[in-house]
A and B are shown apart, each in its own frame.
Chain A
Amino acid sequence: MNLHEYQAKRLFAEHGVPIPNGEVAHTPAEAREIAERLGGVIVKAQVHTGGRGKAGGVKLGRTPAEAEAAAAAILGMDIKGYTVGKVLLDELAPGIEQEIYLAVLIDRANRRPMIMASAAGGMDIEQVAEETPEKIIKVHIEPSLGVRSYQSTYVASRMGLPKELWRDFHKLLTGLYSCFNANDASLTEINPLVITGEGKLLAVDGKMTIDDNALFRLEKVAAMRDVAEEPDAERQAREAGINFIKLDGNIGCMVNGAGLAMTTMDVTKLFGGEPANFLDIGGGAQAEQVAAALRIILSDPNVKAVLINIFGGITRGDEVAKGIVAALGQVETEVPMVVRLAGTNAEEGMAILADAEMETAVTLSDAAQKAVKLAQGDN
């Protein structure tokens, strides 16, 4: 789960990372009130996507009137498909001497949390990583030891940070790692971490991704989920225990297992089709989940054909068939479907579907080709 900037920074601050004073506004009037209290501010769109600055979602508000106008311009703006519903107003940093990149993330290959830092922080960090990888400093953290003082000294020294800031930098880095650990993050990122005109470190922007598997023990963080930003279909799927991601094509896919679901998309594309979604009904799905999955797929008006591919192991073919029949009883649809059941109780499942007038297939290739044809409308 991704957090908004203001949520991430508040969590950072709980662990001693210095952040600017700031407040969230939902209306231009609120923005004006906040700016009256804080003085000169920067107004920033709060959406779950990068590139806000380039899209015009970040503006200066030197006076309350300017802050109000900036908020009015940003609220409701569309940034990469996300509608801006709130803005963060942050006190302006007292001058910016330098922009640093600092992150703690999980390095899968080394099975350790890792510090990533660069003296060349700011908007173009991806370009820095690609063109001058030697400017990115990487240090692994041993979980039982935490961030040791010599490690922060190494990072600070390699970045050429002024010596009088090393102590503060160690405190900040230790705080960032403690925030990472306490909240089961897979990423905590400060970009930029600035050295202000007063020679102090300040986390001006923040990004945080939480491990979904740990949300059960993170009550406070779990409550930060922005349901307003989550598309309806994805929320319904999450509540039904289904993995669903909407895509731009017209062939709805329902599959059991993540690997097979991705493969079904790949094979559909291989035969010239465009998948409308990724959907994994999970292991051991019951009829109700299957019915929910089919309803979610059919709620997408782009869907011109549905491809159902189930290889039974824990999941049983007859349960899936019952779910399909149940869903067809609830939703009126003209959308043609191809179903392929294999593995556990596949024959029983096919018998249940015999009356449903659905096209059937034996192999995945066969099913995908039929679905592509149906979506093109020449059946």
Chain B
Amino acid sequence: MSILIDKNTRVVVSGITGREGSFHTRQMIEYGTNVVAGVTPGKGGQIFEAGDQKIPVFNTIQEAVESTNPNASMIIVPARFAVDAIYEAADAGIPFITCLTEYIPVLDMIEARAYLDAKGARLLGPNCPGLLTPGEAKIGFIPGSVAMPGPVGVVSKSGTLTYEVIDALTRLGIGQTTCVGIGGDPINGTDFIDVLKLFEADPDTEHIVMIGEIGGNAEEKAAAFIKEHVTKPVTSFIAGRTAPPGRRMGHAGAIVEGKSGTAEGKIEALRAAGVPVADNPDDIAKIVAERMGK
């Protein structure tokens, strides 16, 4: 079992013919993902070849939906086209949209999020590494080589830090159900709580790893949710303990403003909810192994 995607998920890729889009689509197909269509305006009718697979390219998602019936989309287009691509996917009825693109203006995301909520579509991202269900399928950047199937659900705001943690789990022989990168933008689609709910309901997920970072209050809200609603053990890490206040640390959301959004506040909230917080990401896998009795 897994959450959000598996080998039967039918994916349409917006931006399939771009430099990054074509590279990562090929990696996804190689991993076993069922990519059914691609979209690039003006390139409809072309065929995208990946190994022995031939993927049809359409001008719009609506046309891709009419002939290939996808149920998930991946957006990997330049920032100025990305918001339109999100609306397009939601308008075409795609229920699960992953937007990898970074640098989307915040005010655009506020409006897009309201539209998605009204449509009942789920967005992962923007500015996220995507997600991966080991041995089945992946949408986005997470390298398939670091993951293996198993009982731990991973949810994270970060990209490369997540690979680091997945890799450490795998090296200790602890596999994962699904690894989800929600991204570090101030306004995004899926948040920690959404993913925690899914892991809590997934019968194969026995343990949850949650990786947060400074900025906003998503970790504090997640801690309150864990205390009330999550029965499975959760282990955590928070990046940015040494970040100076008032400076944006790369991710648009990673900024400490006044007293809010500090690493200390988040760590305190998580510990109060019974969640061990590792001081060093190298320790997360060890803590999980110990708590799982390995």
Binding site for B on A (CB under 8 A): 106, 108-109, 111-113, 126, 130, 143-144, 181, 184, 186, 211-214, 216-217, 243, 245, 247, 255-263, 265-270, 275, 278, 280, 283-284, 311-315, 342-344, 363-365
Closest chain B residue to A245 by CB distance?
B247
- Total contacts A-B at CB 8 Å: 168
Q: 0/1 per residue, B130-151, Cβ < 8 Å to A? A: 0000000000011101100000
A residues near B157, Cβ cutoff 8 Å: 259
Contact of B213 among A262, A280, A342 (CB under 8 A): A262
Distance in Å: Cβ of A208 to nearest Cβ of chain B: 14
Contact of B280 among A143, A267, A284 (CB under 8 A): A267
- A258–B114 touching, CB < 8 Å: no
- B163–A343 touching, CB < 8 Å: yes
B residues near A263, Cβ cutoff 8 Å: 161, 164, 237, 239-240, 281
B79 at the interface (CB under 8 A from A): yes
- Please, how many angstroms separate the alpha-carbon atoms of A63 and B221 in the complex? 55
Which B70-129 residues have C-beta < 8 A from chain A?
A: 79-80, 103-108, 110-111, 113-114, 129
- Please, how many angstroms separate the alpha-carbon atoms of A37 and B274 in the complex? 66
A residues near B259, Cβ cutoff 8 Å: 130
- A364–B129 touching, CB < 8 Å: no
Given A106-B187, A109-B221, A262-B214, 14 extra CB contacts under 8 A: A213-B103, A243-B250, A256-B160, A259-B159, A259-B251, A260-B239, A262-B240, A263-B239, A263-B240, A265-B242, A278-B243, A283-B141, A284-B20, A311-B164
Pull 26 A–B residue pairs with CB atoms less than 8 Å apart, ordered by A: A108-B186, A143-B111, A144-B111, A217-B105, A245-B249, A257-B160, A257-B161, A259-B213, A259-B251, A262-B239, A262-B243, A263-B237, A266-B239, A266-B280, A269-B241, A283-B141, A283-B159, A311-B164, A311-B167, A314-B20, A342-B164, A343-B146, A343-B163, A344-B143, A364-B164, A364-B280
- Please, how many angstroms separate the alpha-carbon atoms of A161 and B233 in the complex? 52
Distance in Å: Cβ of B114 to nearest Cβ of chain A: 7
Closest chain B residue to A366 by CB distance?
B282
A residues near B237, Cβ cutoff 8 Å: 263
- B214–A214 touching, CB < 8 Å: no
Contact of A108 among B217, B241, B279 (CB under 8 A): B217
Contact of B159 among A106, A245, A313, A342 (CB under 8 A): A313
- B79–A213 touching, CB < 8 Å: yes
Give chain B's interface secondary structure class: loop
- Please, how many angstroms separate the alpha-carbon atoms of A108 and B80 in the complex? 22
Known A-B contacts A265-B243, A266-B242; A343 and B250 likewise in contact (beta carbons under 8 Å): no
Interface range for B = 35 or more
Closest chain B residue to A284 by CB distance?
B20
- A109–B280 touching, CB < 8 Å: no
Binding site for A on B (CB under 8 A): 20, 24, 79-80, 103-108, 110-111, 113-114, 129, 141-143, 145-146, 156-164, 167, 184, 186-187, 211, 213-214, 216-217, 221, 237, 239-244, 247, 249-254, 258-259, 279-282
- Please, how many angstroms separate the alpha-carbon atoms of A262 and B262 in the complex? 13
- A143–B250 touching, CB < 8 Å: no
- Please, how many angstroms separate the alpha-carbon atoms of A280 and B160 in the complex? 11
Contact of A259 among B110, B142, B184, B216 (CB under 8 A): B184
Distance in Å: Cβ of B91 to nearest Cβ of chain A: 17
Known A-B contacts A259-B239, A259-B251; A143 and B110 likewise in contact (beta carbons under 8 Å): yes
Contact of A262 among B110, B159, B249, B258 (CB under 8 A): B249
Distance in Å: Cβ of A307 to nearest Cβ of chain B: 14
- B280–A270 touching, CB < 8 Å: yes
- B186, B187, B258, B279 pick with most chain A CB within 10 angstroms: B186
A residues near B103, Cβ cutoff 8 Å: 212-213
Known A-B contacts A243-B250, A267-B280, A267-B281; A184 and B110 likewise in contact (beta carbons under 8 Å): no
Q: Which 3 A-B pairs have the closest CB atoms?
A: A259-B158, A258-B250, A257-B160
Distance in Å: Cβ of A348 to nearest Cβ of chain B: 14
Contact of A278 among B24, B213, B250 (CB under 8 A): B250
Known A-B contacts A108-B187, A108-B253; A260 and B110 likewise in contact (beta carbons under 8 Å): no
- A311–B160 touching, CB < 8 Å: yes
Contact of A343 among B107, B156, B167, B221 (CB under 8 A): B167
Closest chain A residue to B279 by CB distance?
A270
Known A-B contacts A106-B106, A184-B105; A314 and B239 likewise in contact (beta carbons under 8 Å): no
Distance in Å: Cβ of B144 to nearest Cβ of chain A: 10
- Please, how many angstroms separate the alpha-carbon atoms of A258 and B249 in the complex? 7
- B217–A111 touching, CB < 8 Å: no
A residues near B159, Cβ cutoff 8 Å: 257, 259-260, 283, 313
A residues near B216, Cβ cutoff 8 Å: 108-109
Distance in Å: Cβ of B59 to nearest Cβ of chain A: 25
Known A-B contacts A213-B79, A280-B250; A364 and B242 likewise in contact (beta carbons under 8 Å): no
- B110–A257 touching, CB < 8 Å: no
Distance in Å: Cβ of B175 to nearest Cβ of chain A: 18
- B167–A313 touching, CB < 8 Å: no
- Please, how many angstroms separate the alpha-carbon atoms of A283 and B183 in the complex? 13
B residues near A106, Cβ cutoff 8 Å: 106-107, 110, 186-187
